[in-house]
Structure 1
Amino acid sequence: MTDFKIRKFADQDKTAVVNLLNQAYREESSSWTTEYGLVNGARINEQQLDSFTGDIRNHFYVMEQACLNGATVSIIGCIGITELHQAVEIGTFCVKPNRQNSGLGKVLLEFAERTVLNEFDAINEFQMYVLDVRAELIEYYARRGYVQTGIAEEYPVHADVGVPLQSIMLLQLKKTVEK
């Protein structure tokens, strides 16, 4: 039997989270969210994660699985929330590839949205960016109320988050906050 918990990121999670994000985004796997074959290079490193989590506008959470006997705890998902002016950006979001398609991503996304509703004032929309070549992810978010804004940005090679192997744009998606 297993139990799941979502909690705030702690420094001791750093290595596990970097490994999880790189595994989910960049390794060849059966993961439907992988960018393998689309982008070369690491998705994130420990210094980038330190920078993200060290910014007071960012709120980062991990989902962990614990065996009921208390023996093993492992991080199986993560999600970040960045406060903007009247919006929040959701990103740095993944579920361990062998745990995908089990509803955990939906649980994490709903947790992030609920957290925003409960803890942030004056927020009127959720935003996120998705690779334009990832139609299945765009459809996934559309089923959860996110719509394309028509805003597209170049892939941020300068941010050291990998190098595209083809022409890739980031599409902005948004969802109106309903309070």
Structure 2
Amino acid sequence: MPIDTFRTATSDDADAIADLVNRAYRPPAGAAGWTHESELVTGARINAAQVRLTLAQDDSHILLGLQQARLCACVNVVADGDGCYIGMLAVDPAIQAGGLGKQMLTHAEQFARQHFQASYCHMTVLSARPELLAYYLRRGYRQTGEYQPFPHDANAGTPLRADLQIEVLRKTLTD
């Protein structure tokens, strides 16, 4: 079932967003879903207070995807010069692999073009996640050759590998 409603999050959505993101990125061992990174990073990916701070930032929006009024996906879009940063794309693990991530990503890119007049989008992906990297490459993102260290100071969990890095991807937006 596709997403039937998109809307912009408010601070009232913070707890539900944090729950969704943590279930998608850092579920308990043996949980469903192919996008999680539990084998690479421990601890919560985000908490409700961090979501509220993200929502309070100028030019930062968390977009929600709903199925019959139930939260099933989210993504953060942040204006960044002539482009936008896209992050925190999450789909409920129980319904992943049904095209909802692609639908949410397309909505985020359209929002970036329409709301911020962005000419490109960029994102970061854990370099140790080849299946996730391949997913974004199929969606038109390109590797930039830029790598950054894992953001230890972002309160986004603890890496289980000392060599863990994030890779920057970029996509040019067209009308």
The answer to whether the aligner puts 1:53 opposite 2:55 as a matched pair is yes
Aligned-residue sequence identity (percent) comes to 34
Question: How far apart are residue 3 of structure 1 and its match?
Answer: 6.5
The answer to whether the aligner puts 1:164 opposite 2:159 as a matched pair is yes
The answer to whether the aligner puts 1:21 opposite 2:21 as a matched pair is yes
Q: Deviations over 1:24-68 (max 9, x none)?
A: 1001322110011110110001111111000012011111121xx
Partner of 2:92: 96
Partner of 1:125: 120
Partners of 2:64 and 2:82 in 1: CA distance: 24
Question: How far apart are residue 2 of structure 1 and its match?
Answer: 8.5
Partner of 2:38: 36
Partners of 2:109 and 2:2 in 1: CA distance: 24
Note the residue ranges of structure 2 that are not aligned, 5 or more in a row.
none
Structure-1-length-normalised TM-score: 0.91
Question: How far apart are residue 79 of structure 1 and its match?
Answer: 0.6
Question: How far apart are residue 131 of structure 1 and its match?
Answer: 0.2
Question: How far apart are residue 13 of structure 1 and its match?
Answer: 1.4
Partner of 2:110: 114
Partners of 1:109 and 1:54 in 2: CA distance: 22
**Relative to structure 1, is the Cα distance of residues 3 and 105 closer, same or farther in structure 2, using a 3 angstrom cutoff?**
closer
Note the residue ranges of structure 1 that are not aligned, 5 or more in a row.
67-72
Q: Deviations over 1:76-97 (max 9, x none)?
A: 1101101011110100110000
Partners of 1:80 and 1:2 in 2: CA distance: 19
Structure-2-length-normalised TM-score: 0.93
Q: Deviations over 1:86-117 (max 9, x none)?
A: 11010011000011000000100010111122
**Relative to structure 1, is the Cα distance of residues 2 and 126 closer, same or farther in structure 2, using a 3 angstrom cutoff?**
closer
Look at both structures and tell me which one has the larger radius of gyration over its CA atoms.
Answer: 1
Partner of 2:170: 174
Q: Which runs of 4+ in 1 moved over 3 A?
A: none
Partners of 1:111 and 1:2 in 2: CA distance: 13
Partner of 1:142: 137
Partner of 1:7: 7
